[in-house]
C-alpha cells in the first residue's frame, strides 16, 4: 500500500492521543514523502486510509504518528526522530516508570 509517512505524516492529525509536529506550514506539500508498506517490516500497521492532507483535494493513506516515527527509525533517520516522546508523542499514558 502506498502511503505518506515521515515528517509529512507527523504534521497530519491522527486518531491517536499524540501531538505530532506543529511545523505544517514549513513543509512543502506539493510532493509529500511516500513509501510502500510492502517494503517495511511493519507492513500495513498504523496506516490510516482516506485522509485529507494540506493543499490537496484528493485523500491519501497516511501513517499515524507512531508509524511515522517507526518508519523514521527503520530508515535510519534518527536525528528526525530524536526526542520523539516529548516532541511528537507528548503522552505518558501507558508508560511504566
Residue 97 lies in a domain: no
Residue 96 lies in a domain: no
3-class DSSP state for residue 48? strand
Residue 72 lies in a domain: yes
Residue 94 lies in a domain: no
- Model confidence pLDDT, tens digit, residues 20-36: 877 666 788 999 999 99
Residue count of the chain, please give it: 97
- Statement: residue 97 has pLDDT above 50: no
- Model confidence pLDDT, tens digit, residues 22-79: 766 678 899 999 999 999 999 999 999 999 999 999 999 999 999 999 999 999 999 8
Residue 29 lies in a domain: yes
Residue 21 lies in a domain: yes
Residue 59 lies in a domain: yes
- If we measure between CA atoms, which residue out of 63, 58, 48, 61 comes closest to residue 5? 63
Number of domains observed in the structure of the chain: 1
Domain containing residue 65: 2-89
pLDDT given for residue 88 in this prediction:
82
pLDDT given for residue 93 in this prediction:
65
Amino acid at each position: 500500500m502506498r502511503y505518506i509517512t515521515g515528517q509529512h505524516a507527523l504534521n497530519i492529525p491522527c486518531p491517536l492521543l499524540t501531538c505530532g509536529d506543529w511545523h505544517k506550514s514549513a513543509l512543502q506539500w506539493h510532493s509529500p514523502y511516500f513509501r510502500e508498506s510492502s517494503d517495511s517490516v511493519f507492513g500495513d500497521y498504523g496506516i490510516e486510509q482516506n485522509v485529507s492532507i494540506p493543499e490537496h483535494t484528493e485523500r491519501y493513506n497516511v501513517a499515524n504518528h507512531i508509524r511515522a516515527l517507526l518508519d523514521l527509525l527503520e530508515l535510519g533517520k534518527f536525528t528526525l526522530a530524536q526526542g520523539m516522546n516529548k516532541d511528537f508523542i507528548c503522552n505518558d499514558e501507558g508508560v511504566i516508570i
